[in-house]
Structure 1
């Protein structure tokens, strides 16, 4: 059974490269090439011919990946000058420079040269997301910019794929424009699916059946269908829960995609030379991103961290090549793998690299910085609330009567607007962004409430407050006892369990009522 052999090789080599802190994707490609090489030995019983089953698995992995990309397509994520302008300019400049160069050097057609340039212009969504998540920087300013650019690149790649496929839509394709009308129904299905296997099945139904097969029946790209169905659900509160539930399933199916590339054939000298040349010009990609971010008024630090995260080649480029340039799959696959080998270790030491070269990079900064990176001064504030959701808002409304110099911070621009309308003093800030803490001035603050929803934000805030020399009172809430212990270890003075505090608050109403009405007799329920 060839599939069992493939799975075994993929696991072993994936685990091997993970031990040396490289993305498992490199191991999956190596497993495919190894299987292809073993078939050359006389008497080998190993089959390395791509089967229909492996092809289906690979295609499902691509559709699930695009569906999860669609789940991240929130308007506010990409609607910023540095994201839209940076991604479009980078794509345009890369194609403008690389296309004629590839045409002349490789002696290929203009179409092939453009498609290769387009494939090399994209950065890896999988690698960047994993690297930023491992460093808890997905919600940092540079992390949000990098993810926004990746989403824009995915959209550009989808346009390129659709043009390359050259499919003629049927007359029924216009019904796709009515897809937003299904949003209420899809929202109800998502709410009704719970948190277990039905949630995963719903995601697969939308991505593979309605998005994949449904769009193919209309003469449209199945990739486009998967992305659009994900985008319809992007604004649902549980969209990220759905994305996380599909993450492992998507990763498993994508193993088939990378195995299929390796099994397709061993790299020849031409493929290796192309991959080596692509690796040598990889720094140019990061340099271009750096100066584009500087152009859009980001500080040198954010520009450097964003550009370094994006200095790699993308698995999306392979997906584009699988449709437009199947004969170039092996050279591109090796290029992607080598870029991962280079990018992953560098990103682990990104902050120390910046500290080393900061003096040389900061001279490129503009005088006017991005609004999200302006230093935050809280000169008059005495109490600071981080996280203005339900808990933070309740704390604010309770304290404002006795402490007028109160400030709330939140990383959601929509909440900032709503609180402003309600008359609360709430400003934008991301507590998980280390740049925010380095620019924060709060000389009069004596107490801080950590009311963010996620545990990581509370831990980072507590550590950074103590690291910057804050000696005042830090209090937090959490749902679990073990998290309360972690928050205290991070530097908080107290961490209370939310449900316990709710019970105490409810009981206090009885005590207040008895105090105001002493004649009340509380009688037990019973007969008579």
Structure 2
């Protein structure tokens, strides 16, 4: 099968570009173009087969399904996310459309669709860069991801309109899908953590979402997104997304290969890509000033804007439906933007520090609520992270110490604890700006109860950097992680399971001491 050789070739080039710090999908696109070049040079017929096209389509559906799994309303319902994304989209289209129409002598429709494709930023690249830097939950990371989700929704609307599908009368059944949510939640709970979980994701994304929506005359892409969004509020939604990550990435290899095999870029395509690459910094500049207008600090605005300064694989997906003849030029454009954006974003903090004095002049005097400095006042005990462990520690200590406060990076969780009467405020330990604005004059002890090891390490280091000399204690599952937490500055790091075993043993010993001795057998 030729597909096996193509995938092998894609792996080699993907591994090669990864070794130099670029996203592997740049290698997949390059593999497709190289195969197309071999076809032209040798006369061999190397064309995208039905199998490859099907794999590519499955990759797009799984990508949209995983986007849907992240589609929580609290992620996108904020002025900076909704306003920033819509204003950026509108201004970009308003500027790019007449420019493309006049400079390239295109029709207005083609110019408008190209402007739409160029307005998006890369979900794949930004998520990977933020994850690598452990900044997905930082304020600027959440803003960037929220804007990307809004862009993905816009892309989906454009694709549905461009496809021109006429829904059947059975399409009204879709409005009854929310009634299936309790059943879907039960299926997700019953699927465990292994292969059944992956199969459930494939069933929902490809069968119910893809084929189901196509059967009633609706877009399969819309179906995949809707089915994912229906599960977004389930506690295991992110576990499902992670379990599908590798499968999705594998199928998307077919999508990028298909684009490259479609034909080599000519001079016009390369010129288009070069000009688009020169223009891409303007995307970042526009995002920067729009986010400043929504009262973000210059640092958050800059970091969010820089991560969004690239072109998107969603632009290619839109083009595959609406502008298939422009796929190759857009593919070159996206690849070049990744080549530039990936290394620049690794240096984002250093770049900001260099220009911070100039950029800070554009800040508004009014600050965003999530970026206000936090003062702990007379708080003596601080709990960081209010999951199950943090909540249990807080409740136990609150009986003896009224001057206790907790921080958590999940706004919904903060609101829940506040309604239950706990003194919890928003604060993200993985956000450097949080530590710059934190005042804790009376704190004597800190409990690090965040879920991930990186958050605990960052918190321990920054507490000591701020000159905190009090007691820092944490918990973890693994002995090697406990050692790393101590090295970062914590006084002690307890092994969760070991302490649980000690607590269980203590309960048994306590009961035995309290229970009367067993009566001796009278016949003994």
TM tier relative to shorter chain: over 0.9
**Which of 422, 429, 452 is matched with 1:431 structurally?**
429
The structural deviation recorded for 1:22 is: 0.7
CA 523–86 in structure 1, closer or farther in 2 if over 3 Å, else same: farther
Could you report, residue by residue, the CA deviation over 1:132-183 in whole angstroms, capped at 9, with x for unpaired residues? 0000000000000000000000001001111111110000001101111111
In the TM superposition, what are the counterparts of 1:67-86 in structure 2 within 5 Å? Answer: 67-86=65-84
In the TM superposition, what are the counterparts of 1:266-277 in structure 2 within 5 Å? Answer: 266-277=264-275
**1:17 is matched with which residue?**
17
1:278 aligns with 2:276: yes
In the TM superposition, what are the counterparts of 1:469-508 in structure 2 within 5 Å? Answer: 469-508=467-506
**Does the residue aligned with 2:375 lie in a helix, a strand or coil?**
coil
**Which of 340, 344, 347 is matched with 2:345 structurally?**
347
**1:445 is matched with which residue?**
443
CA 101–445 in structure 1, closer or farther in 2 if over 3 Å, else same: same
Q: Tell me the distance in 1 between the aligned counterparts of 2:486 and 2:520.
A: 41
**Does the residue aligned with 1:427 lie in a helix, a strand or coil?**
strand
**2:36 is matched with which residue?**
36
Deviates more, 1:343-352 or 1:447-456: 447-456
Q: Tell me the distance in 1 between the aligned counterparts of 2:303 and 2:519.
A: 66
**Which of 106, 109, 119 is matched with 2:107 structurally?**
109
Q: Tell me the distance in 2 between the aligned counterparts of 1:524 and 1:470.
A: 59
In the TM superposition, what are the counterparts of 1:5-154 in structure 2 within 5 Å? Answer: 5-42=5-42, 45=44, 47-154=45-152
**2:516 is matched with which residue?**
520
The structural deviation recorded for 1:513 is: 5.1
The structural deviation recorded for 1:401 is: 2.8
Q: Tell me the distance in 1 between the aligned counterparts of 2:356 and 2:373.
A: 18
Q: Tell me the distance in 1 between the aligned counterparts of 2:58 and 2:219.
A: 13
1:217 aligns with 2:194: no
Q: Tell me the distance in 2 between the aligned counterparts of 1:513 and 1:39.
A: 79
**2:168 is matched with which residue?**
170
Query: How many pairs align?
Result: 523
In the TM superposition, what are the counterparts of 1:292-311 in structure 2 within 5 Å? Answer: 292-311=290-309
CA 362–171 in structure 1, closer or farther in 2 if over 3 Å, else same: same
**Which of 261, 264, 270 is matched with 2:262 structurally?**
264
**Does the residue aligned with 1:306 lie in a helix, a strand or coil?**
helix
**Does the residue aligned with 2:447 lie in a helix, a strand or coil?**
strand
**1:362 is matched with which residue?**
360
The structural deviation recorded for 1:13 is: 1.0
Q: Tell me the distance in 2 between the aligned counterparts of 1:195 and 1:72.
A: 19
**2:332 is matched with which residue?**
334
Q: Tell me the distance in 1 between the aligned counterparts of 2:136 and 2:339.
A: 21
Deviates more, 1:475-484 or 1:345-354: 475-484
1:395 aligns with 2:393: yes
Q: TM-score, normalised by structure 2?
A: 0.97
Q: Tell me the distance in 2 between the aligned counterparts of 1:55 and 1:415.
A: 43
Q: Tell me the distance in 1 between the aligned counterparts of 2:441 and 2:295.
A: 28
The structural deviation recorded for 1:196 is: 0.8
Q: Tell me the distance in 1 between the aligned counterparts of 2:243 and 2:174.
A: 26
Deviates more, 1:18-27 or 1:478-487: 478-487
Structure 1: tracts of 5 or more residues without a match: none
Structure 2: tracts of 5 or more residues without a match: none
The structural deviation recorded for 1:486 is: 2.1
Q: Tell me the distance in 2 between the aligned counterparts of 1:415 and 1:344.
A: 33
Q: TM-score, normalised by structure 1?
A: 0.96
